[in-house]
Amino acid sequence: MSKPYRIRDEWKQTWVHITILCMSSYGAILVLLRDRLPEQIAIHWGPDDVADGFAGFWEGLVLFPYGFMVLMFLTVLVVPKFAKKGQLSPNNLKSLRLIASIMSLTNLLLFSYVALKNAGGIEMQPSSLVLLIVGSTTLIGGIIFPKLSPNPYIGIRTKALLEDEELWRKVHRLSAPIWIGFGLIAIVVALTIPLAPAAQLVILLGPLVVTGVLIQIVKKRRT
């Protein structure tokens, strides 16, 4: 029998330590780059890599990034406490912690990229960075899918799947290699091949479209 979830015990978990380390690392990066950063920060770039969205230094690089990271941290910390009994099995909770760790590292990568881009220290196109981040997340999703049981927090959460455990497990088992494959393709393309944003979008939406078709096929075969 699994132990009841207690927030104070969660502070001992590795994902919490990773999150705090990522927040601290981002702060250190800002301190090191401060003299090279302008007061007006570019926070969005168009397809041609030209900045088209701006914010002040404190809003763009401090308040929003830390606000987002703290909100995500508190959400993952508190949600299991209020989950209904049986919604978060031990395996689901482990997967949630893994996702939280990955998201913390992703936030560090994303916000550090914005800071470095404004400081003139990086040339990678924003669309390639997004492809790299989403591709990595897709890959991890494919890896953990077979371990998940029905829950409203992690996985492919359609109404039909949440109401049918057998359907949930079958779809997640069959979807796993698809997500892993698309994730690997996205990572390789982001690091090696300069594609147009439209082509990158096709790669990003690929696993969602294929999974949607897969769900319909599995449901029809069961009727």
Residues 6+ apart with CB under 8 A from 95: 144, 147, 148, 154
Q: Are 195 and 189 contacting, i.e. CB atoms less than 8 angstroms apart?
A: yes
* pLDDT confidence of residue 2: 61
Mean per-residue pLDDT of the chain: 87
Is residue 211 pLDDT above 80, yes or no?
Answer: yes
Helix (H, G, I), strand (E, B) or coil at 210: helix
pLDDT grade, residue 1 (50/70/90)? very low
Work out the average pLDDT over 55-71.
94
- Rounded Cα distance between 196 and 160, Å, is 36
Give the torsion sign (CA, 42, 45, 49, 52): negative
Q: Is 193 helix (H, G, I), strand (E, B) or coil?
A: coil
Give the pLDDT confidence score for residue 44 in this predicted structure: 85
pLDDT at residue 204 tops 60 = yes
pLDDT over threshold 50, residue 188? yes
For the residues 39-49, what does the mean pLDDT come to?
83
Tell me the per-residue pLDDT of 64-100, one tens digit each, with 9 for 90 and over: 999 999 999 999 999 888 887 767 788 888 888 888 9
pLDDT at 223: 66
Euclidean distance between CA atoms 103 and 68, whole angstroms? 11
Poorest-confidence range of 85-89, 165-169, 180-184, 188-192? 85-89
What is the per-residue DSSP string for 53-115? EEEEHIIIIIIHHHHHHHHHHHHHHHHHHHSPTTTS-HHHHHHHHHHHHHHHHHHHHHHHHHH
The neighbouring-strand residues paired with 40 are 56
Q: What is the mean pLDDT of residues 31-52?
A: 85
The model scores a pTM over 0.95:
no
- Spatial distance between the Cα atoms of 11 and 13, rounded to a whole number of angstroms: 5
SS3 of residue 179 by DSSP: helix
More confident residue, 160 or 71: 71
Tokens 């830390």 belong to residue? 66
Q: Model confidence over 102-151: pLDDT tens digits?
A: 889 889 888 988 998 898 867 777 788 888 888 888 988 888 898 888 88
pLDDT digits (tens, 9 = 90+) for 12-39: 898 999 999 999 999 998 998 888 899 9
Reduce the DSSP state of residue 154 to 3 states and report it.
coil
